[in-house]
């Protein structure tokens, strides 16, 4: 399979793709418990990467004006309004980074001092619902199906372990769009080519932090070596559990899952489906080797049968 996407055990994708002097795999850890929905990441992404504007449409979904990841929205801040989980214990209000003194973000609107968006401090405090906010992005999968199906080599694995689309090589076939288990990749209208997050490949090469992580005011989006981020995320989940937030969990961090783990993973406060994420993503090209073997065997059998028929008929 292209990019050496072996489905047998953990994989370090950059060396497997041929990078002989690759450093540690880099990625994102997005801690949704401290996301305040400010959309600074969306703006920074668009500005740095010259991503076209998406238009203004509230979509009937509160403050979510982008709706999903698209060719023109490489970061999407989701706003999910829901009742406070039964038995959830209030914790101190926070608007501080995850290493700060409080540790749970202001989306828990039942907390002291927290107000629904658009309500002043003099308004009656709401205790019956909360906002779940998450800045979604391409997952930069370990086993990336988009790489497997691209016929032009437009998609490639970088030395940082990330996956990038070279738009000048893309022919607009759309194979990568249907191959992505997360529905991340999209074609731009009037263009036809595929576009998605590059994890600011140009910035990484210059030793800089991706624009979205640089702009995030609460450090909800954290960038760094993936192994370090996984350790930090595990500690964060433990801390939240100790503070009475038992629903905190990690998503996309496990290198033994259906895509070999993600280069961009998340701390969630509810089931993945609540955020529009598949609960058990699987690399969509996992059956290709077996299919090709069967096709090859079938071709051999048909060839042998044809030869036998020809020989038998000529005798």
The answer on whether 71 is annotated among ligand-binding residues is no
| 3-state SS track over the chain | CHHHCCCCCCCCHHHHCCCCCCCCCEEEEEEHHHCCCCCHHHHHHHHHHCCCCCCCCCCCCCCCCCCCCECCECCEEEEEEEECCCCCCCCCCCCCCCCCCCCCCCCCCCCCCCCCCCCCCCCCCCCCEEEEEEEECCCCECCCHHHHHCCCCCEEECCCCCEEECCCCCCCCCHHHHHCCCCCCEECCCCCCEECCCCCHHHHHCCCCCHHHHHCCCCCEEEEEHHHHHHHHHHHHHHHHHCCCCCCEEECCCCCCCCCCECEEEEECCCHHHHCCCCCCCCCCCCHHHHHHHHHHHHHHHHHHHHHHHHHHHC
146 annotated ligand binder: yes
159 labelled binding-site residue? no
150 appears as a binding residue in the annotation: yes
In the block, residue with structure tokens 């290709």? 288
Pairing of strands 264-268, 26-31: parallel
* 35 annotated as belonging to a binding site for a ligand: yes
Q: Is 117 within any annotated ligand binding site?
A: no
- By C-alpha distance, which of 147, 152, 135 is closest to 260? 147
197 is in an annotated binding site: yes
Residue 41 marked ligand-binding: yes
Residue 46 annotated as part of some ligand binding site: no
- Contact between 137 and 75 under an 8 Å Cβ cutoff? The reply is yes
Contact assessment for residue 123 and residue 129, using Cβ atoms and an 8 Å cutoff:
no
200 is in an annotated binding site: yes
Residue 138 among known ligand-binding residues: yes
Q: Is 123 assigned a ligand-binding role in the annotation?
A: no
275 known member of a binding site:
no
> Residue 247 annotated as binding?
no
Q: CB of 145 within 8 A of CB of 282? A: no
Q: Which residues are annotated as a binding site for [4Fe-4S] cluster?
A: 35, 38, 41, 45, 138, 141, 146, 150, 170, 173, 176, 180, 197, 200, 212, 216
Q: Which residues are annotated as a binding site?
A: 35, 38, 41, 45, 138, 141, 146, 150, 170, 173, 176, 180, 197, 200, 212, 216
């Amino acid at each position: 399979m292209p990019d050496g996407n072996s489905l047998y055990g953990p994989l370090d994708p950059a060396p497997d793709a041929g990078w002989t002097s690759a450093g540690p795999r880099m990625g994102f850890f997005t801690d949704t418990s401290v996301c305040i929905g400010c959309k600074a990441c969306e703006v920074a992404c668009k500005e740095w990467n010259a991503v076209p504007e998406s238009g203004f449409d509230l979509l009937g979904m509160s403050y979510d004006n982008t709706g999903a990841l698209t060719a023109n929205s490489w970061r999407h801040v989701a706003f999910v309004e829901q009742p406070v989980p039964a038995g959830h214990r209030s914790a101190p209000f926070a608007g501080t980074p995850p290493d700060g003194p409080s540790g749970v973000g202001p989306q828990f609107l039942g907390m002291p001092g927290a107000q629904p968006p658009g309500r002043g401090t003099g308004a009656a405090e709401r205790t019956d619902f909360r906002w779940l906010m998450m800045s979604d992005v391409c997952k930069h999968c370990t086993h990336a199906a988009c790489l497997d199906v691209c016929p032009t080599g437009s998609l490639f694995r970088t030395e940082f372990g990330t996956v990038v689309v070279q738009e000048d090589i893309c022919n607009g076939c759309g194979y990568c769009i249907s191959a992505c288990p997360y529905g991340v990749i999209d074609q731009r209208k009037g263009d036809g080519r595929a576009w998605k997050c590059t994890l600011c490949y140009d910035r990484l090469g210059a030793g800089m932090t991706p624009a979205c992580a640089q702009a995030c005011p609460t450090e909800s989006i954290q960038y760094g070596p993936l192994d370090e981020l996984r350790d930090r995320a595990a500690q964060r989940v433990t801390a939240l559990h100790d503070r009475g937030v038992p629903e905190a969990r990690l998503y996309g961090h496990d290198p033994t899952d259906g895509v070999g783990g993600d280069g961009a993973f998340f701390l969630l406060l509810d089931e993945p489906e609540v955020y529009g994420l598949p609960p058990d993503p699987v690399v969509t090209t996992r059956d290709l080797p077996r299919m090709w073997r069967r096709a090859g065997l079938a071709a051999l059998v048909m060839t042998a049968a044809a030869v036998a028929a020809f020989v038998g008929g000529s005798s």
